[in-house]
Chain A
């Protein structure tokens, strides 16, 4: 069933990066190291996107998550240097986060295995090359009235509002 070819090996390498990085994030006491592990994990995710023939998502993953979000996390951590040497691994809310984590994990596993949301639309017998959508398809889908134009516009409005809000806060009153 599982054929050992180059693609499988690369898949396992990226999976290892993703999971190992994620494990490093939660077990590491040094926050900067945690952020670096997060970047490794996100990089593994980008690699998985490439394997899924979604290069656009991979590039956006690197650009947005590694290039912006992870950098801002490190930026915030570096400004609070005393936070980099934490003694405790757990804080008082560990049971709440554990609960949420387990719930989400069960939900995802359930959603993948059971057809809760109907057939996911993938046919395992089709060759991958027939399913692959280009970046152009993605762009069209985002502005197509029958597809994802509403979520796209709502997200754009949210981001614009956030940007304007930031400008209003940062603006000096004169």
Chain B
């Protein structure tokens, strides 16, 4: 009974409160409120550290030191910045649509924080293990587009509107390969619950079984979160600042926080869905260790994102859209078709792990290796097609140049007569 009661701190609180004389309904309500507060406030506190990390890494890439004055290693610099943002004057432009203008930053940060509710931090710590976790994540992410749209329109500023247009066009487009890439872990795990997906990776991480899907997911996440090379939403040199240009004070701060947090959340999802989430050594004995593993796994793609941001130039909007529609979407569709077929064959032949030894590495090996080989084969074909297409384009260019030279030769003698 003792172990039954201690599922986690919040569940344990209810019997304690009831025993000390609280109404059971109220105790349940209080414990839920506390759980919600913890899940919501954690990302808001963590984001201060992410911004520090991002500034430090960007500074190192650009041969600077970065924040180093406030607190040890400049760790408190962003706390100071947050205080500065809070006490700044809050300006609303004259032509702005007040209600929408004020609601936009709230929706922006909401759309990111709500995702944290379904992230499994450890085998027993999860806000809500929805049976439709993956669809929930995608649905909540699409609400973020709405916030950018509202901010861009209500500011009554042409740069803000242009930034919002770009954002929406990009976000809606890159949602398609992202969803198609997410289908593959769902197919392999056989569930859409986030906890279920992590548990299905105990034997084999999905980055091994589905590297192409992982890559597509990572790239479309870069675009979804507006990270370089896809940071057209706020191309400083073209749009001043993008959709949030008119915002000041803490409203601007909320947009910035949601942006930094969104990038980290996307990599957190990557770690949960492809890198095995909380799974790691000694998690069974000490479940809280799962949180440490999860954060460590998240930092790998996250730091890679930060380095990418500091080193890669921005693409043009037409390049960005062409890359999505002509390259990522077709590959994602073919990837889903082939993986589904191969997975079904593997399962029918009986090479996939049975439910009893699903956490066993060796039992997962045949299925993982077959899927990995399929992915390698697909990558090989795609690279070959790209090479051929590149050669064709170069040849066409050369032919065009030769034709113009020939025409010039014909024109020149006749002119000399």
A and B assemble together: yes
Chain A residues near B (Cβ < 8 Å): 32-33, 36, 39, 55-56, 59-60, 62-63, 66-68, 70-72, 74-75, 78, 134-135
CB atoms of A135 and B192 under 8 A apart: yes
Question: Which residues of the other chain, A, contact B139 by a CB distance below 8 angstroms?
Answer: 59-60, 62-63, 66-67
* Among candidates A32, A56, A66, A67, residue contacting B153 with C-beta atoms closer than 8 Å: A32
CB atoms of B153 and A78 under 8 A apart: yes
Of the A-B pairs whose beta carbons lie under 8 Å apart in the complex, a sample of 24, sorted by A's number, is A36-B100, A39-B146, A55-B130, A55-B131, A55-B136, A56-B135, A59-B138, A59-B139, A62-B143, A63-B138, A63-B142, A66-B139, A66-B142, A66-B143, A66-B146, A67-B146, A67-B175, A68-B172, A70-B146, A71-B168, A74-B149, A74-B153, A75-B168, A78-B153
CB atoms of B135 and A63 under 8 A apart: yes
CB atoms of A62 and B140 under 8 A apart: yes
**With A and B bound together, what is the CA distance between A155 and B349 in angstroms?**
32
Taking CB atoms and an 8 Å cut-off, the chain B residues in 120-158 that contact chain A are: 130-132, 135-136, 138-143, 145-146, 149-150, 153
**With A and B bound together, what is the CA distance between A33 and B153 in angstroms?**
11
**With A and B bound together, what is the CA distance between A68 and B176 in angstroms?**
11
**With A and B bound together, what is the CA distance between A99 and B135 in angstroms?**
38
CB of B161 within 8 Å of the partner chain:
yes
**With A and B bound together, what is the CA distance between A75 and B168 in angstroms?**
8
Task: Please list the 10 inter-chain residue pairs (A to B) with the smallest Cβ-Cβ separation, ordered nearest first.
Answer: A67-B142, A63-B139, A62-B139, A59-B135, A59-B139, A55-B132, A56-B132, A59-B136, A59-B132, A74-B149
CB atoms of A135 and B132 under 8 A apart: yes
CB of B97 within 8 Å of the partner chain:
yes
With A62-B143, A74-B153, A75-B149 as known contacts, state yes or no: A32 contacts B100, CB within 8 Å: yes
A36's nearest neighbour on chain B, judged by CB, is: B100
Interface of B is mostly: helix
CB atoms of B143 and A67 under 8 A apart: yes
**With A and B bound together, what is the CA distance between A171 and B202 in angstroms?**
45
Question: Which residues of the other chain, A, contact B149 by a CB distance below 8 angstroms?
Answer: 71, 74-75, 78
Q: Tell me the smallest distance from the CB of B288 to a CB of chain A, in Å.
A: 28
What's the interface size class on B, roughly?
A: 20 to 34
B130's nearest neighbour on chain A, judged by CB, is: A55
Q: Tell me the smallest distance from the CB of A8 to a CB of chain B, in Å.
A: 15
Taking CB atoms and an 8 Å cut-off, the chain B residues in 367-414 that contact chain A are: none
**With A and B bound together, what is the CA distance between A78 and B164 in angstroms?**
10
Question: Which residues of the other chain, B, contact A36 by a CB distance below 8 angstroms?
Answer: 100, 150
**With A and B bound together, what is the CA distance between A87 and B314 in angstroms?**
43
**With A and B bound together, what is the CA distance between A32 and B104 in angstroms?**
14
Question: Which residues of the other chain, B, contact A72 by a CB distance below 8 angstroms?
Answer: 172
CB of B252 within 8 Å of the partner chain:
no
Taking CB atoms and an 8 Å cut-off, the chain B residues in 165-188 that contact chain A are: 165, 168, 172, 175
Chain B CB count within 10 A is highest, among A68, A78, A134, for A78
**With A and B bound together, what is the CA distance between A170 and B149 in angstroms?**
25
Q: Tell me the smallest distance from the CB of A162 to a CB of chain B, in Å.
A: 14
**With A and B bound together, what is the CA distance between A62 and B145 in angstroms?**
12
* Among candidates B130, B143, B161, residue contacting A78 with C-beta atoms closer than 8 Å: B161
Question: Which residues of the other chain, A, contact B175 by a CB distance below 8 angstroms?
Answer: 67
Question: Which residues of the other chain, A, contact B130 by a CB distance below 8 angstroms?
Answer: 55
**With A and B bound together, what is the CA distance between A134 and B136 in angstroms?**
15
**With A and B bound together, what is the CA distance between A33 and B131 in angstroms?**
34
Q: Tell me the smallest distance from the CB of B323 to a CB of chain A, in Å.
A: 15
**With A and B bound together, what is the CA distance between A68 and B173 in angstroms?**
10
A84's nearest neighbour on chain B, judged by CB, is: B153
CB atoms of B97 and A32 under 8 A apart: yes
**With A and B bound together, what is the CA distance between A33 and B98 in angstroms?**
12
Q: Tell me the smallest distance from the CB of A165 to a CB of chain B, in Å.
A: 14
Q: Tell me the smallest distance from the CB of A27 to a CB of chain B, in Å.
A: 16
B192's nearest neighbour on chain A, judged by CB, is: A135
Question: Which residues of the other chain, B, contact A39 by a CB distance below 8 angstroms?
Answer: 146
CB atoms of A71 and B132 under 8 A apart: no
Chain A CB count within 10 A is highest, among B100, B130, B142, B164, for B142
Question: Which residues of the other chain, A, contact B153 by a CB distance below 8 angstroms?
Answer: 32, 74, 78
Q: Tell me the smallest distance from the CB of A65 to a CB of chain B, in Å.
A: 10
Instruction: Given contacts A59-B132, A67-B142, list 19 more A-B pairs with CB under 8 A.
Output: A32-B100, A32-B153, A39-B146, A55-B130, A55-B132, A55-B136, A59-B136, A59-B138, A59-B139, A62-B140, A63-B142, A67-B139, A71-B142, A74-B149, A75-B149, A75-B165, A75-B168, A78-B161, A135-B131
Q: Tell me the smallest distance from the CB of B180 to a CB of chain A, in Å.
A: 13
A174's nearest neighbour on chain B, judged by CB, is: B396
Q: Tell me the smallest distance from the CB of B33 to a CB of chain A, in Å.
A: 14
Q: Tell me the smallest distance from the CB of B235 to a CB of chain A, in Å.
A: 19
**With A and B bound together, what is the CA distance between A68 and B130 in angstroms?**
22
Q: Tell me the smallest distance from the CB of B23 to a CB of chain A, in Å.
A: 14
Question: Which residues of the other chain, A, contact B172 by a CB distance below 8 angstroms?
Answer: 68, 71-72
**With A and B bound together, what is the CA distance between A32 and B142 in angstroms?**
18
Question: Which residues of the other chain, B, contact A66 by a CB distance below 8 angstroms?
Answer: 139, 142-143, 146
A5's nearest neighbour on chain B, judged by CB, is: B25
**With A and B bound together, what is the CA distance between A36 and B146 in angstroms?**
9
Contact with A along B100-116 (1 / 0, CB 8 A): 10000000000000000
**With A and B bound together, what is the CA distance between A135 and B136 in angstroms?**
13
**With A and B bound together, what is the CA distance between A59 and B143 in angstroms?**
11
CB atoms of B132 and A68 under 8 A apart: no
